[in-house]
Amino acid sequence: MLSPTLRTTLNIMSTIRTQMNLAAANRLSTVHRHLSTTSQVNKIEKLTVFGAGLMGAGIAQVGAQSGLKVILSDVTDKALENGLNIISKSLSRVAKKKSPDDIEGFTSNILKNIETTTDAAKAVQDSDLVIEAIIESIKVKRDLFGFLDEKAKAECIFASNTSSLSVKEIAESCSNDRQARFAGLHFFNPVPAMKLVEIIKTPQTSTETFEALKEVTLRMNKSPVSCNDTPGFIVNRLLVPYLLEAIRMVERGDATPEDIDTAMELGAGYPMGPFKLLDFVGLDTTSYIAQGWREKAQSGEISKELVEPIGLLDKLVKEGKLGRKSGQGFYEYDNKK
């Protein structure tokens, strides 16, 4: 027989245990709710691309080719028309190889997966993934994402195709939950031909977001790699200092652009020497990236010596010798051909 005192004590302990279990269960369910709101993502079927320029058009095309429903959005109808033109021309080239007997059928079959709109809110209302490929301005990108954060579904993933800006700084224009579903998705030019995509993780990017982006880039027939949110990510971090050092060699009179290109193509096995590549990318673009990195060098994110200003590069840019696009850079081009 239990004494009344002992029975009362046991009853109190049992009540406390039940309450502790309830509290623990409540805590668990809160954690679970939080995790599911911060990390839940859907399988990506609907893609919205902002910016119908060189990169945006290419991303919309590979998305449509992989079977995604794509909405391409830009600020003017003229820009959208330009984007659709880029896509049609590129698809015709693909069709010549893949479906030479029915070029028109092949092209229109893919084009029907792409809708266009200048209405940014409408463009994202039903989207699973937004990829931004608009002008390289932190303010304009942040304004766009801040606006879209209110309009898109909670589970929608946001990605920026920025080459040189901090993905984290762009993502901070959005709510904390969206920042878990925010990453960089860096495609290469020309998008339909270049296999690589760098997936850039910020400290806030969730594992589910990263995995969903990896899966969708594989569906686009690309090869994704992962990198932290650091200046230049992988490719440009290694490539830009190499290109700048090649210009310094010419400035010092160590060798000519022609000889350096030949040396790197035949000696290092590179498909294109640094000066052919500089002219292809645009000298203004390389100069712009180096300038941005000089600011980051002050905070120690990148070594200062790698991005010291180069008189020869500044001079060519000032003279409008930007490479292929302007008809002259380190080489001359006949753009009328």
Ligand X SMILES: NC(=O)c1ccc[n+]([C@@H]2O[C@H](COP(=O)([O-])OP(=O)(O)OC[C@H]3O[C@@H](n4cnc5c(N)ncnc54)[C@H](O)[C@@H]3O)[C@@H](O)[C@H]2O)c1
Active site residues: 163, 186, 198, 236
Nearest residue to the partner ligand X, using Cβ: 53
Q: Shortest approach of ligand X to residue 106 CB, angstroms?
A: 24
Strands 196-201 and 182-187: antiparallel
Q: Whose Cβ is closer to ligand X: residue 190's or residue 327's? A: 190
Q: Whose Cβ is closer to ligand X: residue 161's or residue 205's? A: 161
Q: Shortest approach of ligand X to residue 69 CB, angstroms?
A: 19
The CB density around residue 35, as the number of other CB atoms within 10 Å, is 13
Q: What's the length of the chain?
A: 337
Half-sphere exposure for 140 (CA within 13 Å, toward CB):
11
DSSP state of 118: S
- The answer to whether 223 is annotated as binding is no
Q: In angstroms, how far apart are the furthest CA atoms of the chain?
A: 106
Sign of the C-alpha dihedral computed for residues 223, 307, 293 and 302 taken in this order: positive
C-beta separation of 71 from 123 below 8 A: yes
Q: Residue numbers of the site for ligand X (CB under 6 A)? A: 50-56, 73-75, 79, 133-136, 140, 144, 161-163, 187, 189
- The answer to whether 22 is annotated as binding is no
In three-state secondary structure terms, 229 is coil
- The answer to whether 74 is annotated as binding is yes
Q: Shortest approach of ligand X to residue 144 CB, angstroms?
A: 5
Q: How far apart are CA 122 and CA 127, in angstroms?
A: 10
C-beta separation of 49 from 133 below 8 A: yes
Burial class (CB in 10 A: 0-12, 13-18, 19+), 97: exposed
Q: Whose Cβ is closer to ligand X: residue 191's or residue 250's? A: 191
- The answer to whether 55 is annotated as binding is yes
Q: Shortest approach of ligand X to residue 63 CB, angstroms?
A: 15
Q: Whose Cβ is closer to ligand X: residue 216's or residue 281's? A: 281
- The answer to whether 54 is annotated as binding is yes
Q: Which residue positions form the known binding site for NAD(+)?
A: 51-56, 74, 136, 141, 163, 189, 325
Q: Which residue positions form the known binding site for CoA?
A: 90, 97, 163
